[in-house]
Amino acid sequence: RNEREPYVVTSKGFTAAAINAAAKAGEWIKSRQGQVKELGSKTSAQDLVTEVDKGVEQMIRRLILTHYPDHAILGEEGVMPGTDAVTAALEEGRKHEYLWIVDPIDGTTNFVHGFPFYCVSIALAIKGELSVGVIYDPIRDEMFVAEKGKGAYMHGIPTSVSSETEPGSSLIAMGFPPDRTFAQPANMAGLQHILPQVRGIRAGGSAALHLAYVAAGRVDGYWEVGLSPWDCAAGVLLVLESGGKVTDTLGSPYDIGTRHVVASNGYIHDFLVSALKEAEATGHKR
Ligand code: IPD
Ligand code: CA
Ligand code: CA
Ligand code: CA
């Protein structure tokens, strides 16, 4: 890390708090890889949770509340994904003014298997508007930071989406949430429509890192159906502040409650949205 710019260059206040929490969380997670003691499941047998997810979320909560005791926090492990409780927490958060949206480990399945592709994701929404987004990959020691209106950075260097305009030359990322009822068929239908038209597809198992990779120009686009706010809030701000575009799968503007997400460099956005609309028309209803 010393050879690079420090994480915090000019950041102060909220952003520095998010970076600090993400860095501490990331180090802890990395130190626990391969040593999980309690492996449980949530909404389905494929929806994993470990003591590390829970412990890291508690730690991030404590770190945020130490600085900002009256702020609201929506963390994945504090609420059942996909339920009305999430919608209620978002609504409450909008009223609250400051809402932190936290995914302690995005990519828990990868973490459990020792597949080195997972991250910590922390976002701050002010009155429902994304204002800070931080994603930390502890394996590669990559800290992605976005501030609304001020751009996005990785270790002090501005990130920028790719300039690819041709779907046929594009590398696209996607994912499969543990929801095997609605989300899996919808994502499969999208895959079938998009794969024949692009250079390649990657499904790495971390929505947040895939969004950070769109921001950094490492993939040209990403979509996934059935996400939760903590999977994408920080990543969405990174993409927007890196010059990209984010909508839902019908092309409507992203909001912190959006669950079906398309992110891209902007140039191939219409292609992705049209292909997903076709996929939906030929098969799967939301
Ligand atoms: C999951 C990952 C995965 C995505 C799922 C998410 P988690 O988050 O981001 O890549 O496909 O939709 O639920 O449970 O590992 O935090
Ligand atoms: Ca999870
Ligand atoms: Ca997640
Ligand atoms: Ca998680």
C-alpha to C-alpha distance for 264 and 105, rounded to whole angstroms: 23
DSSP code of residue 147: E
What's the gap in Å between 77 CA and the centre of ligand 2?
A: 8
pLDDT in tens, 75-99: 999 888 888 999 999 988 888 789 9
pLDDT in tens, 140-177: 999 999 999 999 999 889 999 999 999 999 999 999 98
Closest ligand 1 atom to residue 104 Cα is 16
- Pick the closest to residue 46 from 182, 176, 178 (CA basis): 178
DSSP code of residue 136: E
pTM: 0.94
Cβ of 176 below 6 Å from ligand 1: yes
Could you give the domains of the chain?
Answer: 13-158 (3.30.540.10), 167-282 (3.40.190.80)
Closest ligand 1 atom to residue 53 Cα is 16
Polymer length in residues for the chain: 286
27 is catalytic: no
Contact 104, 205 (CB under 8 A): no
Tokens coding 171: 């590398």
- Pick the closest to residue 228 from 42, 7, 11 (CA basis): 42
In terms of DSSP H, where are the helices of the chain? 13-32, 51-67, 84-96, 108-113, 183-194, 207-215, 229-241, 269-282
**Closest residue (by CA) to atom 12 of ligand 1?**
177
What's the gap in Å between 77 CA and the centre of ligand 4?
A: 7
Question: Residue type for 259, please?
Answer: R
Pick the catalytic residue: 53, 106, 164, 179? 106
**Closest residue (by CA) to atom 2 of ligand 1?**
206
231 is catalytic: yes
What's the gap in Å between 206 CA and the centre of ligand 3?
A: 7
Laid out side by side, the sheet with 129-137 consists of: 72-75, 98-106, 119-126, 129-137, 142-147, 151-154, 157-158
pLDDT in tens, 272-281: 999 999 998 8
- Decide: helix, strand or coil at residue 58: helix
Mean pLDDT lowest among 10-19, 126-135, 182-191, 225-234? 10-19
Question: pLDDT-derived band of residue 1, with 50, 70 and 90 as boundaries?
Answer: very low
Question: pLDDT-derived band of residue 193, with 50, 70 and 90 as boundaries?
Answer: very high
Cβ of 57 below 6 Å from ligand 1: no
